[in-house]
Amino acid sequence: MDEIRTAVVQEVDYDAERDQKFQILNKLLENRQMRSLQLILEDMNEFDVAEFLSEIDEKRRPMVFRMLSKEMAADVFANFDVDDQETIINSITDSELSVIMDELYMDDVVDMMEELPANVVKRVMRAAKPDHRRLINQYLNYPENSAGSIMTAEFVDLKKYMNVRESIARIRKIGEDKETIYICFVTTSDRKLEGIVTVKDLLLHDDDMIIEEIMDTNVIYANTTDDQEEVSEKISDYDLLAIPVVDRERRLVGIITVDDVIDVMEEEATEDFEKMAAMTPSDKPYSKTPVWEIWRNRIPWLMFLMISATFTSMIITGYEDSLAAQAVLISFIPMLMGTGGNSGAQASTAVIRSISLGDVEPKDAFAVLWKEWRVSLMAGVSLAAVNFIKMNLVDRMLLSNTSVTLIVAATVSISIIFIVMFAKVVGSLLPILAEKIGVDPAVMANPLISTITDTVSLMIYFFIARILLHL
């Protein structure tokens, strides 16, 4: 009966299969059947093993980790987050650490080094071989978020005078430890990049064909100092499996593979989300960020935005007596500010996202402005019309609020038109301006724009009230 269920589940869903396997592993661990545990683990995907190890009791983790073969151990280690990596480093011997360091790809090493505390970094550095250590130091020197800081050193290089047979022999010989073998890089004797050859090219050509004749010299490449966002855009635009990274002399110094770019894209999108919600971006996942760190990431902007609301206070204070006389006007302040804020947020989000996808550039400022101006006119007029009807039907008639006169409804409705137009224009222009002067557009997002539109919304409202209602 159980077997039938297993069979059915296995045919349906990978995640269900995996959960089932984890249950079996946990049972084996409880019963201390370490040999069976080891056998199953060794056959699993390294990401799943890492997940399993992260879920079990922290005290048992190093013991189970040490049962893994050295290749599996390194792969699993690379899949850990930095906290788990630190725990493991602190519980293994120097020689075990050396073995793992030997197996790790350079990009994973650099990733880890950037996050580990200084004393652990020192120990890890001691465990690395001298030439490896030199390379790590070089990579750590590239600016954060640059192509140099995320590239890896493990690639297959070929020479243009080799033929297909020799190339395949070389891949067979050195391919085992390379991050990818499917793209091979053709270099000169002084390491300058000349072309690329894919394994597909090699397989589809005769054994005696010379690399020079089949290599693609029209190579898409990145520079060590390029921003990681640019690199990921290139990999995504050109559908690449890996991109070569060259230094200023066009010497090939590393490669970036597509799987690393996926991580970069997730990171960059998360950063934009955080900035747009007025938070300091954090490297750690939410569930692993301590409370005080979350507080620290959020409080500066909240403070700034709270203090800058002093402007709205001052404007209202200026009209206090008039407002006391025409108290009905107060009740529409939240709606007007909210509508302005939401209109601005829509425009700024659309533009910020378009900039980060490469769809909009600073030179398009006028086109964006003209587009938003028309959208805001249409949106403002339709909102004003609905509001005018709503105030007359709901506030005047349904709620029989006698202070809502036709002229009050007109004041509020006309204000809406100008507020929406102002908000959309500012919301779309500020991010472009930021990009132009080299500031991240995401910082110019909703909360900042809300604060500006809040202030101007009130000024528009009171100005129109002064004309129509002699406020």
Out of 31, 137, 188, 331, the only residue in the binding site for a copy of itself (CB under 8 A) is 331
CA gap 122, 130 in Å, rounded: 13
* Binding track, positions 31-60, relative to a copy of itself; x by CB under 8 A: ------------xxx-x-------------
Out of 9, 302, 406, 407, the only residue in the binding site for a copy of itself (CB under 8 A) is 302
**Cβ of residue 284: shortest distance to a copy of itself, in angstroms?**
10
CA gap 142, 150 in Å, rounded: 9
- Strand arrangement, sheet containing 156-158: 156-158, 183-187, 193-198
Considering only residues 389 through 448, tell me which ones interact with a copy of itself, judged by CB under 8 A.
Answer: 390, 394-395, 399, 401, 403, 416, 420, 446-447
Out of 339, 414, 444, 464, the only residue in the binding site for a copy of itself (CB under 8 A) is 339
CA gap 471, 468 in Å, rounded: 8
**Cβ of residue 244: shortest distance to a copy of itself, in angstroms?**
10
Stretch that binds a copy of itself, among 28-36, 52-60, 127-135, 272-280 (CB under 8 A): 272-280
The residue count for binding a copy of itself (CB under 8 A) is 129
The reply to whether 77 sits near a copy of itself by the rule CB under 8 A is no
The reply to whether 146 sits near a copy of itself by the rule CB under 8 A is no
Are 246 and 223 within 8 A, CB to CB?
yes
**Cβ of residue 228: shortest distance to a copy of itself, in angstroms?**
14
The reply to whether 363 sits near a copy of itself by the rule CB under 8 A is no
Stretch that binds a copy of itself, among 59-67, 110-118, 143-151, 298-306 (CB under 8 A): 298-306
Out of 9, 307, 407, 439, the only residue in the binding site for a copy of itself (CB under 8 A) is 307
The reply to whether 259 sits near a copy of itself by the rule CB under 8 A is yes
Out of 34, 378, 397, 407, the only residue in the binding site for a copy of itself (CB under 8 A) is 378
* Binding track, positions 7-26, relative to a copy of itself; x by CB under 8 A: ----xxxx------------
Q: Which is nearer to a copy of itself, 357 or 407 (CB)?
A: 357
Out of 32, 57, 249, 470, the only residue in the binding site for a copy of itself (CB under 8 A) is 249
Out of 354, 411, 444, 469, the only residue in the binding site for a copy of itself (CB under 8 A) is 354
Out of 67, 140, 209, 294, the only residue in the binding site for a copy of itself (CB under 8 A) is 294
Q: Which is nearer to a copy of itself, 26 or 270 (CB)?
A: 270
Are 422 and 456 within 8 A, CB to CB?
yes
The reply to whether 369 sits near a copy of itself by the rule CB under 8 A is no
CB atoms under 10 Å from CB of 417, counted, come to 21
The reply to whether 333 sits near a copy of itself by the rule CB under 8 A is yes
- Pull the structure tokens for residue 127: 């465990």
Stretch that binds a copy of itself, among 25-33, 126-134, 138-146, 235-243 (CB under 8 A): 235-243
Q: Which is nearer to a copy of itself, 63 or 407 (CB)?
A: 407
Stretch that binds a copy of itself, among 62-70, 92-100, 111-119, 340-348 (CB under 8 A): 340-348
Considering only residues 173 through 212, tell me which ones interact with a copy of itself, judged by CB under 8 A.
Answer: 175-176, 181-182, 199-200, 203-204
**Cβ of residue 94: shortest distance to a copy of itself, in angstroms?**
29
Stretch that binds a copy of itself, among 66-74, 145-153, 233-241, 463-471 (CB under 8 A): 233-241
Q: Which is nearer to a copy of itself, 62 or 175 (CB)?
A: 175
CA gap 471, 462 in Å, rounded: 8
Considering only residues 93 through 132, tell me which ones interact with a copy of itself, judged by CB under 8 A.
Answer: none
**Cβ of residue 374: shortest distance to a copy of itself, in angstroms?**
5
The reply to whether 167 sits near a copy of itself by the rule CB under 8 A is no
Q: Which is nearer to a copy of itself, 145 or 297 (CB)?
A: 297
Give the per-residue SS3 of the chain: CHHHHHHHHHHHCHHHHHHHHHHHHHHHHHCCCHHHHHHHHHCCCHHHHHHHHHHCCCCCHHHHHHCCCHHHHHHHHHHCCHHHHHHHHHHCCHHHHHHHHHHCCHHHHHHHHHHCCHHHHHHHHHHCCHHHHHHHHHHHCCCCCEHHHHCECCCEEECCCCEHHHHHHHHHHHHHHCCCCCEEEEECCCCEEEEEEEHHHHHHCCCCCEHHHHCECCCCCEECCCEHHHHHHHHHHHCCCEEEEECCCCEEEEEEEHHHHHHHHHHHHHHHHHHHCCCCCCCCCHHHCCHHHHHHHHHHHHHHHHHHCHHHHHHHHHCHHHHHHCHHHHHHHHHHHHHHHHHHHHHHHHHHHHHHCCCCCHHHHHHHHHHHHHHHHHHHHHHHHHHHHHHHHHHHHHCCCCCCCHHHHHHHHHHHHHHHHHHHHHHHHHHHHHHHCCCCHHHHCHHHHHHHHHHHHHHHHHHHHHHHHCC
Give residues with Cβ within 8 angstroms of 220, minimum separation 6.
Answer: 234, 238, 240, 243
